[in-house]
């Protein structure tokens, strides 16, 4: 459980970095609020099952840090962990994000990737790469984390649009594999699928 909590902490740090680096807001030009980020009961066609909704705690931290700090309005933090078939030993996803009305989405996505390495003992092993998938840009990188003397390899991907933005961290039983062996495009495609399942119209 320590590893998952460490990743969640890093994801929250990532969002805070986004808030700080995007910085000065211009009051005009905010998009209309049409969509929201949700935590469905399952993701990736039922492979992952929701284990914990941390929006009231970790998500609230995102909201508090963002309050008045950047070019966003109506911000809501959303953080959840998912396990393969309800069993964390078989694999875990950590979804950490937000919804509201956002500008500078390209910068937000890049800074999510930068912030993902801000967690304790985290290092970027494979730098962020952008994938244009059907008009949606997904950025992915590989982060390594030390937990009790063991190095874990964690692919992380992010998207950001006018209403939603999130990072998806994937922990698998092969978490000790070489970072260079990670197929980032495959994780980008999974993240696009997660986005389609988790982003819902408001109302």
Token readout for 168 is 């998806």
pLDDT at 70: 57
Q: How much is the average pLDDT of 135-155?
A: 85
Higher pLDDT, 4 or 35: 35
Q: How much is the average pLDDT of 111-126?
A: 78
| pLDDT at position 24 over 50 | no
Name the pLDDT band for 15 (thresholds 50, 70, 90).
low
pLDDT at 106: 85
pLDDT at 17: 46
What is the pLDDT of the chain when averaged over all its residues?
82
- Phi, psi for 10 (deg, rounded to 5): -65, -35
Taking the model in full, what pTM does it have? 0.83
3 membership: H or E segment, kind and range:
helix 2-22
| Spatial distance between the Cα atoms of 83 and 52, rounded to a whole number of angstroms | 9
* CATH number among 2.50.20, 2.40.128, 3.30.450, 3.40.1000, domain 2-25+33-201: 3.40.1000
């Amino acid at each position: 459980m320590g590893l998952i909590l460490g990743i969640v902490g890093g994801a929250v740090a990532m969002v805070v970095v986004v808030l700080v680096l995007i910085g000065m807001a211009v009051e005009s030009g905010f998009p209309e609020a049409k969509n929201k980020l949700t935590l469905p009961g399952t993701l990736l066609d039922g492979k992952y099952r929701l284990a914990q909704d941390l929006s009231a705690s970790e998500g609230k931290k995102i909201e508090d840090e963002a309050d008045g700090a950047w070019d966003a309005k109506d911000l809501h933090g959303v953080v959840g962990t998912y396990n393969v078939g309800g069993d964390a030993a078989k694999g875990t996803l950590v979804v950490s994000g937000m919804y509201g009305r956002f500008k500078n989405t390209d910068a937000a996505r890049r800074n999510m990737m930068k912030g993902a390495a801000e967690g304790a003992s985290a290092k970027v092993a494979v730098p962020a790469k952008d994938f244009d998938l059907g008009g949606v840009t997904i950025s992915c990188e590989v982060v390594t984390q030390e937990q009790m003397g063991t190095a874990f390899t964690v692919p992380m991907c992010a998207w950001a649009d006018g209403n939603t933005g999130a990072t998806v961290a994937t922990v698998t039983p092969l978490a000790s594999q070489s970072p260079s062996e990670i197929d980032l495009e495959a994780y980008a495609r999974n993240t696009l699928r997660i986005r389609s399942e988790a982003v819902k119209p408001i109302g």
